[in-house]
Amino acid sequence: MKRHTRSAAALAAVGIGAMLLSGCSGGASHDEDTLVLWHYENADSAMGIAWNKAIDIFEEETGAKVQFEEKSFEQIRSTASQVLNSDEAPDILEYNKGNATAGLLSSQGLLTNLDEQVKKYGWDEKLAPSLQTTARYNEDGIMGSGSWYGVPNYGEYVEVYYNKDMFADAGLEVPTTLDEFESVMQAFVDEGITPLSEAAAEYPLGQLWYQLALTKADRDWVDAYQLYTDDVDFEGPEISYATETIADWTDKGFISPDSTGLKAEDAGVAFISGDYPIFFSGSWWYNRFNTEMDADWGTFLFPGAEMSPGSAGNMWSVPEKAQNKDLAYKFIDITMRPEIQAIIGNNGGVPVAANEEDIDADSQELIANFNTLTERDGIAFYPDWPTATFYDELNAGLQELLNGTKSPAEVQKQLGEQYQAGVDDIVG
Amino acid sequence: MATELLTTGRRITKRPSGLNRKKTSDWVVLAVAIVLGFFIAVPFLMILVNSFKSPEDYATSGPLSLPTEFYTDGLTAFWERVNFPEKLWNSIYISGLVAVFAVVISMFNAFALGIGRVKGRSWIVVLILLANMLPQEVLLYPLYFMFKQVGLYDNQWAVIIIFTVIQSAFGTYLLASVYGTFPKGLLEAASLDGASRWRILWTVVFPISRPTLSVLLIFFFIWTWNEFLIPLTFLISNATQTVPVAITVLQGDRLMDVTTTSASALLGLIPTLIFFLIFQRTLTRGITAGAVK
């Protein structure tokens, strides 16, 4: 019985204590000298550091205060449409580019049309044409044309990372053509090393597949694939080459069939620890390799291709319900300045509007490769962009290819049908 | 899982009073329980091991090896980055209130349905259970519009109200069937003595069903603690967020930081673990109490 009274008392205490302390929720409206800013970059990432600096400059120059809240990527991804439709909307936020995110919200009228500001501040002159693609959406929310709904502040692209120590041990040089690339990988296989660190459970193998298709493709093909300007022939030379080459490389031992179960993180970690000499993946790894990898490493663009997967990064958007839009525009403009862009570059990010001479030697290779790509109009976006479900479908198809359960012809036929079904849903 | 282990534990200790033979089957049960327990513990052990590893250590030696040094930067980084004490308090506040409210409401409902024998009560129970059975994704948009209308969007009370309803739905279902088998004699005796319904509830039904109620309280607390989707949607300001929502801050667009994520998982897990250990006794007693009646 004693215990009963005690637990009853504890219960009551919890209840009463909770009732007493009912402090909650921040007020919806804020004064006109405050910029409410949301982004989801880690404070010590390239963007985090640069934007912190931008906040300081902004507060100094305008006298306004910045109320910054660090959000999670997941939270913005899954709740943006609700938040932006309420009075809790921030004045400016980092938002995900793409038809399913910024495109959808712009078509719902939740994002501010930035056309006027773009002209006024000249942001379009700072951004290469292929970087503008993800910032502009038409009235159906499809990217590539129409009005501006966001301003990308950084870029990303996919390139080849290689372990210099392992290349030196094997007496190999950086390949400049696809044939040379294959003979480099063959040389590793001859020594009993699987050359490519791959992961088919997530994006890496899909990006390699797309890159292989790009070696045979031109800008028209990319526009057809990404922006639905034309039908895409999945049995055409581009995709046939990609699918067959993946199968071929698996047969030759360049890619381990075990990678069907691996995730991007596994592949990256395996490259860091020197299990594989080559890793084909995005610029988002650059900083991590810099800090975590013992071996000497370098990068090069995929040999024999004019284009590579990549895009402008996520972008600044201004909600339609934002209270202090003018402050938001000023803030965007500050982040586009060369000095802020240089901070992004010097911390392992890829700036979109930096002066190359401001960049440290450490990061120059990364920025130079990106600039090479943008100059030759080589940013080709990602294979999974066109439809909402193609990411999983592509991964599943390529896993079957690696397993040998399906032939290249079967896989690309299936992918073609899935792609078309998804596109039909969007285009109607 | 806890129940399983505890019941097996009890059976083994009871054995000596009965036959001392049958040793082999006991050992088999014990071995199976240990193996099962090990598999259940693996994720937790992984979290524990990786929480104290530096990112470099993780990158070079993988997730399974033991840390080479005792590295706590991940823990402190996460703690400071999300202002963990604040999140912890938010979680305790929300889960605590929900647990108390939901138990009280469940008891009232169950008293009416199980003892009061309202007409069409099985349909009422089914209706109430819908709140529990519908996937939360389905409820999300209607709830969003409702709470936005009444001005409780981005307010912890939205989450408290939602979960009080959802948890009490299950509580009503469970308690109504427990109360359905409540000894009639006791109730009749009480009403012969002239006790009102209110008095019967508080002086007869409540004390007898207290073990079951405390089990519900603990379950509601832990379930609400672990909820993710609805808190994520309704708690917009960082200052109002709960621990599971705060943990997602660490997952980026493309990269994940395994060691810091482990550290955050560890921090998020410890409070429920402590809570469970404190109330472990109540749990086992309550479950058997419920079963006997």
The CATH number linked to A165 is: 3.40.190.10
CB contact under 8 A, B60 and A75: no
Q: Identify the domain containing residue A259 by its residue range.
A: 157-310+381-427
Say whether both A101 and A114 belong to one domain.
yes
Q: How far is CA A19 from the centre of its chain?
A: 45
Looking up tokens 């479950």 gives: B287
pLDDT at B194: 87
Say whether both A319 and A385 belong to one domain.
no
A161 domain-assigned = yes
* Tens digits of residue pLDDT in B174-197: 998 888 888 888 888 888 888 888
- Residue A190 pLDDT > 70, yes or no? yes
Proportion of chain A above pLDDT 70, given as a percent: 93
Say whether both A302 and A226 belong to one domain.
yes
Q: Which of A21-35, A178-192, A290-304 has the lowest mean pLDDT?
A: A21-35
CA distances from residue A286 to A47, A198, A227, A290, A298 in whole angstroms, order as listed:
13, 17, 29, 6, 10
With contact defined as beta carbons under 8 Å apart, do A76 and B233 qualify?
A: no
* Tens digits of residue pLDDT in A327-361: 999 999 999 999 999 999 998 899 998 888 888 88
Q: Please name the helix (run of DSSP H) or strand (run of DSSP E) that holds residue A196, with its range, or none.
A: strand A196-197
Boundaries of every domain in chain B: 89-258+271-292
Mean pLDDT of B89-112: 95
pLDDT at B252: 65
* Tens digits of residue pLDDT in A46-55: 999 999 999 9
pLDDT at B19: 54
Best residue in B209, B236, B257 to probe A by mutation, most A CBs within 10 Å? B236
Looking up tokens 């913005």 gives: A76
pLDDT at A27: 42
Distance from CA of B32 to the nearest CA of A (A): 29
Specify the pairing of strand A196-197 against strand A147-148: unpaired
B68's CB contacts (< 8 A; 6+ apart) are B53, B57, B61
Say whether both A211 and A338 belong to one domain.
no
Task: State chain A's mean pLDDT as an integer.
Answer: 89
Fold of the B89-258+271-292 domain: MetI-like fold (1.10.3720)
A195 domain-assigned = yes
Read off the pLDDT band of B13 (50, 70, 90): very low
Q: DSSP character for A356?
A: G
Q: Name the residue in chain A with its Cα closest to that of B92.
A: A18
Read off the pLDDT band of A125 (50, 70, 90): very high
User: In chain B, which residues have their Cβ closer than 8 Å to the Cβ of A19?
Assistant: 97
Backbone phi and psi for residue A350, each to the nearest 5 degrees, phi listed first: -115, 105
pLDDT at A1: 39
**Token pair belonging to A418:** 């899935």
Q: Which of A400, A411, A103, A160 is nearest to A304 (CA)?
A: A160
CB contact under 8 A, A7 and B214: yes
Proportion of chain B above pLDDT 90, given as a percent: 32
Say whether both A72 and A84 belong to one domain.
yes
Q: What is the pTM of this model?
A: 0.79
pLDDT at B5: 41
- Residue A264 pLDDT > 80, yes or no? yes
Strand partners, A297: A163
Best residue in A21, A72, A96 to probe B by mutation, most B CBs within 10 Å? A72
Mean pLDDT of A22-37: 66
Say whether both A318 and A220 belong to one domain.
no
* Tens digits of residue pLDDT in B213-252: 988 998 999 999 999 999 998 998 889 999 999 888 777 6
- Pairwise CA distance, residues B58 & B51, whole Å: 10
pLDDT at B254: 64
Mean pLDDT of B167-175: 92
Other beta carbons within 10 angstroms of residue A160's beta carbon come to: 22
Best residue in A82, A86, A154, A291 to probe B by mutation, most B CBs within 10 Å? A82
Say whether both A245 and A391 belong to one domain.
yes
Q: Out of B97, B217, B253, name the one closest to residue A11 (CB).
A: B217
Looking up tokens 């459970």 gives: A201
Instruction: Please indicate if any CB of chain B lies within 8 Å of the CB of A108.
Output: no
Proportion of chain A above pLDDT 90, given as a percent: 71
Instruction: Please indicate if any CB of chain B lies within 8 Å of the CB of A359.
Output: no
Say whether both A262 and A181 belong to one domain.
yes
A247 domain-assigned = yes
Say whether both A187 and A50 belong to one domain.
no
Q: Out of B60, B250, B252, name the one closest to residue A273 (CB).
A: B60
Q: DSSP character for A67?
A: E
Q: Give the DSSP letter string of A2-13.
A: HHHHHHHHHHHH
Distance from CA of B30 to the nearest CA of A (A): 32
CB contact under 8 A, A11 and B253: no
With contact defined as beta carbons under 8 Å apart, do A227 and A138 qualify?
A: no
* Tens digits of residue pLDDT in A368-405: 999 999 999 999 999 988 887 899 999 999 999 999 99
Say whether both A174 and A226 belong to one domain.
yes
CB contact under 8 A, A292 and B61: no
Amino acid letter for position A396: A
Under DSSP, is residue A139 helix (H, G, I), strand (E, B) or coil?
Answer: coil
* Residue with more model confidence, A315 or A30: A315
Under DSSP, is residue A161 helix (H, G, I), strand (E, B) or coil?
Answer: strand
* Residue with more model confidence, B159 or B73: B159
Say whether both A273 and A402 belong to one domain.
yes
pLDDT at A15: 44
* Residue with more model confidence, A264 or B2: A264
- Tell me the residues of chain A between 194 and 233 that have a Cβ less than 8 Å away from chain B: 203
What's the 3-state SS for B176-231?
HHHHHCCCHHHHHHHHHCCCCHHHHHHHHHHHHCHHHHHHHHHHHHHHHHHCCHHH
CB contact under 8 A, A265 and B61: no
ipTM: 0.72
Looking up tokens 């896993």 gives: A399
pLDDT at A42: 82
- Residue A8 pLDDT > 70, yes or no? no
Angle formed by the axes of helices B156-180 and B136-149, to 10°? Answer: 130
Q: How far is CA A96 from the centre of its chain?
A: 9
Cα Rg of chain A (Å, integer): 24
Looking up tokens 């959808």 gives: A104
Into how many domains does chain A fold? Answer: 2
- Residue B132 pLDDT > 90, yes or no? no
pLDDT at B134: 85
Q: Which of A60, A415, A59, A49 is nearest to A238 (CA)?
A: A415
A94 domain-assigned = yes
Q: Out of A14, A83, A86, name the one closest to residue B96 (CB).
A: A14
Backbone phi and psi for residue B32, each to the nearest 5 degrees, phi listed first: -60, -45
Q: DSSP character for A351?
A: E
Half-sphere exposure of residue B266, counting CA atoms within 13 Å on the CB side?
Answer: 21
Say whether both A278 and A202 belong to one domain.
yes
Q: Name the residue in chain A with its Cα closest to that of B149.
A: A86
Specify the pairing of strand A196-197 against strand A315-317: unpaired
Express the helix, strand and coil content of chain A in percent, nearest 5 each: 55, 15, 35
- Pairwise CA distance, residues A354 & A340, whole Å: 8
pLDDT at B160: 96
User: In chain B, which residues have their Cβ closer than 8 Å to the Cβ of A285?
Assistant: 255
A236 domain-assigned = yes
pLDDT at B14: 47
What is the CA angle B193-B194-B197, rounded to 5?
Answer: 115
Cα Rg of chain B (Å, integer): 23
Q: Name the residue in chain B with its Cα closest to that of A203.
A: B254
- Pairwise CA distance, residues A426 & A135, whole Å: 19
Instruction: Please indicate if any CB of chain B lies within 8 Å of the CB of A71.
Output: yes
Specify the pairing of strand A65-70 against strand A34-39: parallel
- Residue A5 pLDDT > 70, yes or no? no
